[in-house]
Amino acid sequence: MKLFILTSLVTVVYCMPQQPRTLFGRRSGQEDNALDFEQPALKPIPSPAKIPNEWELEQNRNAHYQFSTNIDDKISDQTQQRSEVRDGLKVEGSYSYSDGYFKRTYHYVADDKGYRIVGTEVVPLEGPKVNLEGTASVDAAAHGTQLSYKVQSVPAVGQKIVDQFQGNPTN
């Protein structure tokens, strides 16, 4: 088996070109000449700006909504929040997240001038604090409806606790 692998490796190396080729097919050290093929000229393809028709403009002018989400994970010490309000052609909102080391918040606006960040906040935290017996809560609100729920961490240390969690009898 070792002899087969060694023979295969020697065959592959022997069949490889002696001089590496460059990107355009010439071997290194070879001069440019008329027989070499040329790189095609790369031209940017213009992307036509989408101009909304009157029907789309009317829809956009009449668009109104607001929503928010909040995830507060006290198991792995992370948070995520987002809120947004649209009033016709203008959208304003913010989003934030934390990783245990920093909480970062970004405020944005999208309107006839485009999308842009209009403010940021960075708050240092003490570092992540994992709590294997903690909870995580989720809140979301949109269109006048609110959804909230919590989950509780179930520490699984050893097969006995896993069996109890799954409803299997223990000894």
Looking at the predicted structure, is the pLDDT value of residue 69 above 70?
Answer: yes
pLDDT tier at 53 (50, 70, 90 boundaries)?
Answer: confident
With beta carbons less than 8 A apart as the criterion, state whether 132 and 76 touch: no
Residue 134 belongs to some domain of the structure: yes
pLDDT in tens, 118-152: 999 999 999 888 888 899 999 999 988 999 999 99
Nearest to 70 by CA among 58, 78, 62: 78
Residue 23: inside a domain, yes or no?
A: no
In percent, the amount of the chain with pLDDT more than 90 equals 43
Q: Domain for residue 38, yes or no?
A: no
Number of helical H runs and strand E runs in the chain: 3, 7
pTM for the structure as a whole: 0.59
List of residues 6+ apart from 8 with CB closer than 8 A:
none
Q: At 24, is the pLDDT very low, low, confident or very high (cuts 50, 70, 90)?
A: very low
pLDDT of residue 130: 87
- Side-chain-side CA neighbours of 1 within 13 Å: the count stands at 0
Q: Is 60 inside any structural domain?
A: no
Q: Which pLDDT belongs to residue 140?
A: 94
* Domain-embedded: residue 107: yes
Residue at 44 is within a domain: no
The angle formed by the CA atoms of residues 23, 33 and 25, to the nearest 5 degrees, is: 20
How many domains would you assign to the chain? Answer: 1
Q: How far apart are CA 76 and CA 99, in angstroms?
A: 9
The answer as to whether 158 is a domain residue is yes
Q: Which domain does 141 fall in, by range?
A: 65-165
> Per the domain annotation, does 71 fall within a domain?
yes
Q: With CA atoms as reference, report the closest residue to 105 among 113, 116, 117.
A: 117
